[in-house]
Amino acid sequence: MNDTLIKIRADEKQKCTTEQFWVVATFVGVNGFLLARDPLFAAHSPCWVVVPITLLDLYAIVFVLLRALAYAQIDHRLHNLLEGRTEEDGVAKVRLRWRDIWRGTGLYLLLILVSWLAVLAKYCPHST
């Protein structure tokens, strides 16, 4: 039973990482598409077109942070199983630490923010 739970927790950790990767790839791809558009298109587009992109990018940032928190909680559960404790010991106290964020999650957040700022600069040049 314990080996099965360890395998399930390891698979859940991998799923969190994969979900983060694909969300970042999707949103950076959408931002890249907007950046690759003809400059004439951007010049004749109203500035409000950035509003939906901003909301979507904020969603992506929240999603990445929630996946990082879920990863930390699953990792804590996995350590509990390996140490012979109950799975839920201290899981409610798990928080994201800065060192956790600055690993892969920080790079993901940076990619989303930089691509969003580039879209903002292209479509609303007077706002940056």
Of 97, 1, 98, 104, which Cα lies nearest the Cα of 9? 1
Of the candidates 116, 106, 87, which has an alpha carbon nearest to the alpha carbon of residue 28?
116
* Element holding 40 (H helix, E strand): helix 39-43
* Residue predicted with more confidence, 54 or 125: 54
Count of domains in the chain? 1
List, for residues 13-37, the tens digit of each pLDDT value.
899 889 999 999 999 999 999 888 8
Span 64-108, pLDDT tens digits: 999 988 888 888 888 877 887 776 776 667 777 777 667 778 889
Q: CA 76 to CA 55: how far, in whole Å?
A: 32
pTM score: 0.83
